[in-house]
Amino acid sequence: MRWDEGKGFNMELFCKKVFCVAVLAPLGAIVSSPLLVAQSYYGAVRGLVTDPNNAVIAGAKVALVNEGTSERRNATTSSGGEYSFNDVVPGAYTIECESPGFKKFDRKGIILATQSQITVDAKLEVGQVTESIEVTEATPLVESSNASQGQVLDNQKLTDLPNLGRNPFMMSKLSPNVVQVGPPAYNRMEDQSGSSMISIAGGPVRGNNYLLDGVPITDSLNRAIIIPTLESVEDVKIQSNTYDAEMARTGGGMFNTLMKSGTNTYHGSL
């Protein structure tokens, strides 16, 4: 408050100060806070680049190319021959690696699912950079970077397997530690109450959390307020336990759903 001699109480100035303290200050704190971020659906790709003698190659150029959008990210191996790509949108990727005195390395068809952290090592052969080695068959990628336990339902499973209610969350019964306790009549579109009657890894029924592109869509009754159509979903990761602290808000499990995004080709359904 302010009292101007000869003028009395300055109401206009008082209101401005109250507005700044009550509205602008909290808003600024919210915008600037580094902690207020959505739960993540991003994955990561990392690996080791070596020569034919298994010696690490430092300074090698590595590229991660999204096969759907042609988006390209570049990195350089460290002194220990390691590279890393973090915050990678799930999808199909190609790893390209090259270094002077070695043939170019290409590995296509690397599938990165929701919150997957996979390792793709590259062994370069001696030769010219104009020559290339294309890896077409390799050992299936195993996620060994974290202890998170879960199962990813990819788009092929969601669209090709029978689903009477066309509800992607009801497909969670494919996971061995999921029990759906609702009656069959609840297997129908947009039935938030019935389709949320699910127990994950022995957790409480309707005690799960639902994410859509990293944004929580769980209401106060622990129901999914949005049930996306099967055609719009890229994949659903059902996480049962030992997930990262960023998941939170659940006494049971987690449905981490990723929606489809645009690519270089037209696609749709009718």
CATH number of the structural domain spanning residue 51: 2.60.40.1120
Query: What pLDDT digit, counting tens, does each position of 25-64 carry?
Result: 444 444 444 444 445 788 899 999 999 999 999 999 999 9
Same-domain check for residues 157 and 253: yes
Q: Of 135, 158, 183, at which residue does a domain stop?
A: 135
Assigned domain for 143 exists: no
Bigger pLDDT: 219 vs 189: 219
Assigned domain for 25 exists: no
For the ranges 11-20, 120-129, 249-258, the lowest mean pLDDT is seen at 11-20
Mean pLDDT in residue range 187-215: 84
d(CA 39, CA 127): 44
Q: Of 104, 135, 166, at which residue does a domain stop?
A: 135
pLDDT interval class at 81 (50, 70, 90): very high
- Is 172 within 8 Å of 148 (Cβ atoms)? no
Share of the chain above pLDDT 90, in %: 27
Q: Which amino acid is at 146?
A: N
Please check the confidence at residue 18 and state whether its pLDDT lies above 60: no
Please check the confidence at residue 10 and state whether its pLDDT lies above 60: no
Please check the confidence at residue 152 and state whether its pLDDT lies above 60: yes
Assigned domain for 90 exists: yes
Nearest partner of 116 among 215, 214, 44, 52, judged by Cα: 44
Domain that holds residue 50: 43-135
The DSSP line for 121-162 is: -EE--BS-TTSEEEE-S-PPP---S---EEEEEEHHHHHHS-
d(CA 220, CA 265): 40
Number of domains in the chain: 2
Q: Of 105, 135, 165, at which residue does a domain stop?
A: 135
Quick one: tokens of 9?
A: 């109480």
Quick one: tokens of 17?
A: 């100060």
Same-domain check for residues 57 and 110: yes
Nearest partner of 66 among 98, 101, 92, 90, judged by Cα: 92
d(CA 98, CA 129): 7
Please check the confidence at residue 14 and state whether its pLDDT lies above 70: no
Across the chain, mean pLDDT equals: 79
Query: What pLDDT digit, counting tens, does each position of 162-181 carry?
Result: 887 788 888 888 888 888 88
Same-domain check for residues 156 and 255: yes
Query: What pLDDT digit, counting tens, does each position of 125-144 carry?
Result: 998 766 767 776 555 555 55
pLDDT for the residue 220: 86
Same-domain check for residues 108 and 161: no
Q: Which amino acid is at 195?
A: S
The dihedrals phi and psi of 31, each to the nearest 5 degrees, come to -65, -40
d(CA 92, CA 184): 35
pLDDT for the residue 142: 57
Q: Which amino acid is at 242?
A: T
Cα four-point dihedral sign 174, 175, 181, 182: negative
Residue 155 — left, alpha, or beta (φ > 0 → left; ψ -120 to 50 → alpha)?
alpha
List Cα–Cα distances, 110 to 76, 176, 260, in angstroms.
19, 26, 17
